[in-house]
Amino acid sequence: MSTSRDIERYAGLFAARTRVMKSSAMRDLMAVTARPEVISLAGGLPDTSTFPPDTFAAVAQRIATESCAKALQYGPTEGLDETKTCIAEVMAAEGMRVAPEDLIVTTGGQQVIDLVTKTLIDPGDVVIAEGPTYPGAVPVFSAYQADVVQVDMDADGMRVDLLEETLDRLERDGRRPKFIYTVPSFQNPAGVTMSQPRRRRLVEVAHERELLVLEDNPYGLLRYEGDAPPPLLSLDGGVYVMYLGTFSKILSPGIRLGWVVAPPPVLEKINLGKQAADLCTSTLSQLMVQAYFEESRWRDYVESLTEVYRARRDTMLDALADHFPRQAEWTRPAGGLFIWVTLPDFIDTTDLLARALRDNVAFVPGEAAFLDGRGRNAMRLNFSGSDEDAIREGIRRIGEVVTEQVELYGTLTGEHQAVQVEEPPAADDNVLQLPKRSARSRRAEGS
């Protein structure tokens, strides 16, 4: 009989990169969030129940009659031309023009992060990311042993002035970062969008310093208000900006279909990396997208999603205003899937999650979005994956435990902070402040 579960047996065989692990406490807690009785605002899930089953059936039928053998066969590494045409259509909807040879179809957007990092990073090389950054990028950067330097954000996205300071500092230390990773629109997890002036400046910085930028844009089309600033790719013209797109949030994450646009020499290396990783992206999935684009009006579906998510965002913002104490601050996203909440710095959101799980509600603790131990007083909330009743109830429960901890802290410090609920912060002053120091400095003055 095998003892294949005994880890000691294999311990000596593991590569050094497998030793990089995030806090085990948080992983243990996240295991409990998957239980059915838990209202989870922790995921990043689109609501796939909104997709019409009839359309799915028509798409499948069409592939069966028209391209059965092709759908079941390998395809070219860079992807099928018919899929690339659909991708060009999606990008055109956001004001970008690409030719089929400018891009590679990938197995989800996540593979783009992996392939770009694999292509550019040797152990110890610097990657610049936003602080907070997409929690799913953290294990990728860690696996390639990148040294991730995070640049703070505010309501207008990455602080490009701080980015320049960081680049200067790195240069003085003789270190040249390989690329800047950013989610400029409706950032995951912060929910903020990079302003147009900052986008322009970021692209200028990339040109001045000859640095690559990876623009991760999964939610650009999920905009609930206002006008879209231009994508970095269109500002740069494809010289230093690489672009990551995906069908996950506008169609389905289950089909695992994304794409990457990059300067030709970089794209060539990425293509080699992809060939090694999985030869090609699922032909079946690619043909499904093609059939879907012919069968139905994809923009109508995105429009219907936008309406559903807008209402959910508004519900969550209202619930936060109703149930969170005045010491809490949060962002007001104009699109995307997430709201980022910053609590007083005496609250550790990993511990708070343990308390919240007793009330069957979950969120992502902020520490997941940092590699440097920050974010411990913040949390990411998802509003796309739960219906409005669940959002209201989930936020009510989290608000209750936060209020409980704020009150308890007040009692412990003798401040007896009055817990009251106030109006939500106005749209223009929801600045991300990481970390907040007010509560502790008040105590220092008082004692």
CB-side neighbour CA atoms (13 Å) of 218:
30
- For residue 138, the SS3 value is helix
What residues from 374 to 413 belong to the interface with other proteins (CB under 8 A)? 405, 407-409, 411-413
The secondary element (H helix, E strand) that includes residue 261 is strand 258-261
Kindly tell me which of 178 and 440 has the beta carbon lying closer to other proteins. 440
Is 29 an interacting residue with respect to other proteins (CB under 8 A)? yes
Using the Cα atoms of residue 295, residue 298, residue 303 and residue 308 in order, give the sign of their dihedral: positive
Q: How far is the CB of 184 from other proteins (least distance, A)?
A: 34
Is 172 an interacting residue with respect to other proteins (CB under 8 A)? no
Size of the site for other proteins (CB under 8 A): 37
Residue 101 and residue 259 in contact, taking contact as beta carbons nearer than 8 Å:
no
Is 446 an interacting residue with respect to other proteins (CB under 8 A)? no
Other Cβ atoms closer than 10 A to 68: 11
d(CA 424, CA 63): 49
Is 444 an interacting residue with respect to other proteins (CB under 8 A)? yes
Structure tokens at 427: 């749209």
What residues from 31 to 90 belong to the interface with other proteins (CB under 8 A)? 31-32, 35
Q: How far is the CB of 199 from other proteins (least distance, A)?
A: 38
What residues from 309 to 368 belong to the interface with other proteins (CB under 8 A)? 345-348, 351-352, 354-355, 357
Q: How far is the CB of 380 from other proteins (least distance, A)?
A: 18
Amino acid at 259: W
Is 16 an interacting residue with respect to other proteins (CB under 8 A)? no
Kindly tell me which of 164 and 348 has the beta carbon lying closer to other proteins. 348
Buried-state track 143-169, b at ≥16 Cβ within 10 A, e below 16: bbebebbbbbbbbbbbbbeebbebbee
Is 21 an interacting residue with respect to other proteins (CB under 8 A)? yes
Residues in the chain: 447
Which of 12, 13, 15, 19 forms a contact with other proteins (CB under 8 A)? 19
d(CA 279, CA 88): 22
Stretch near other proteins under the rule CB under 8 A, chosen from 28-36, 111-119, 259-267, 288-296: 28-36
Write phi, then psi, for 108 (nearest 5 degrees).
75, 165
Is 170 an interacting residue with respect to other proteins (CB under 8 A)? no
Structure tokens at 133: 């950054």
Which of 25, 45, 272, 321 forms a contact with other proteins (CB under 8 A)? 25
Where on the chain is the footprint of other proteins (CB under 8 A)?
Answer: 1, 3, 5-8, 19, 21, 23-25, 27-29, 31-32, 35, 345-348, 351-352, 354-355, 357, 405, 407-409, 411-414, 440, 443-444
